[in-house]
Amino acid sequence: MTEHINLFENVNRQFDEAADILEMPPEVRDVLKTPYREVAVALPIRMDDGSLKVFHGYRVQHNGVRGPQKGGIRYHPEVDLDDVRALASLMTWKTAVVNIPFGGAKGGVTCDPSKMSQHELESLTRRYISKISMVLGPTRDIPAPDVNTNAQTMAWVMDEFGRKAGYQPACVTGKPIELGGSQGREAATGKGVAITTREACSARGIPLKGARVVLQGFGNVGSYTAKFLVEMGTKIVAVADHTGGVRKADGLDVAALLDYAKAHKGGVGGFPGGEAFDASTVFAQDCDILIPAALGGVITKANAADVKAKLIVEGANAPTTTGADHILKAMGITVIPDILANAGGVTVSYFEWVQNLQQFFWEEAEVFQKEEKIMVQAFHDVHDKVVKHSCTYRTGAFVLALERVYKANLMRGW
Measured CA angle at 395 (ends 392, 398), to 5 deg: 150
Three-state DSSP at 64 gives coil
β-pair partners for 76: 110
Residue 175 annotated to the active site: no
Of 70, 106, 175, 191, catalytic: 106
β-pair partners for 240: 216, 245
Residue 251 to residue 190: CA distance in whole angstroms? 19
CB-CB contact of 267 with 261 (8 Å)? yes
Residue 87 to residue 65: CA distance in whole angstroms? 17
Measured CA angle at 105 (ends 104, 107), to 5 deg: 160
Q: Which H, E and C letters describe 98-118, residue by residue?
A: CCCCCEEEEEEEECCHHHCCH
Residues 6+ apart with CB under 8 A from 178: none
Measured CA angle at 204 (ends 198, 208), to 5 deg: 35
Chain centroid, CA 176 distance in Å = 19
DSSP state of 134: G
CB-CB contact of 66 with 96 (8 Å)? yes
Residues 6+ apart with CB under 8 A from 26: none
Strands (E), 192-333: 212-216, 235-241, 244-247, 275-277, 289-292, 311-313
Residue 124 to residue 117: CA distance in whole angstroms? 11
- Amino acid identity of residue 278, one-letter, is D
Q: What one-character-per-residue DSSP string does 369-389 give?
A: HHHHHHHHHHHHHHHHHHHHH
Helix pair 393-412, 81-97: axis angle to 10 deg: 80
Residues annotated as part of the active site: 106
